[in-house]
Amino acid sequence: MTDTLILVGSPRGKKSSSTSLGNHLKSLLQDRGLEVEMLWIKLQLVTEEKTSLMLEAISDAEAVIMIAPLYDDCQPYIVTKTMELIAAQELDVKKRRFLPIINCGFPESSHITAVAIPIYKKFASKIGYDWAGSLALGGGEMLQGRYGKQLDDIGGLGDKARRELEKIADVLAGGIVYSDEALVVMPDIFLKPILADLIRWMNNRMWRSQAEKHGAAVDARPYAP
Ligand SMILES: Cc1cc2nc3c(=O)[nH]c(=O)nc-3n(C[C@H](O)[C@H](O)[C@H](O)COP(=O)(O)O)c2cc1C
Sequence spans of domains, the chain: 2-187, 192-225
Backbone angles phi, psi at 74, to 5 degrees: -135, -160
- Assigned CATH topology for domain 2-187: Rossmann fold (3.40.50)
Q: Is 199 exposed, middle or buried (CB count within 10 Å of its CB: 0-12, 13-18, 19+)?
A: middle
Q: Is the CB of 22 under 6 A from ligand 1?
A: no
Q: Is the CB of 75 under 6 A from ligand 1?
A: no
Cα 219 from chain centre: 34
Q: Which atom of ligand 1 is nearest to the CA of 146?
A: 25
* Contact (CB, 8 A) for 205 and 197: no
Q: Which atom of ligand 1 is nearest to the CA of 10?
A: 27
Q: What is the pLDDT along the chain (225 residues), one digit of tens a residue?
A: 889 999 999 999 999 999 999 999 999 999 999 999 999 999 999 999 999 999 999 999 999 999 999 999 999 999 999 999 999 988 888 889 999 999 999 989 999 999 999 999 999 999 999 999 999 999 999 999 999 999 999 999 999 999 999 999 999 998 777 888 898 888 888 888 888 889 889 989 999 999 999 999 888 888 988
Q: Is the CB of 73 under 6 A from ligand 1?
A: yes
Q: Give Cα separations from 47 to 10, 115, 137 (angstroms).
A: 18, 30, 31
What's the chain's Rg over C-alpha atoms?
A: 19
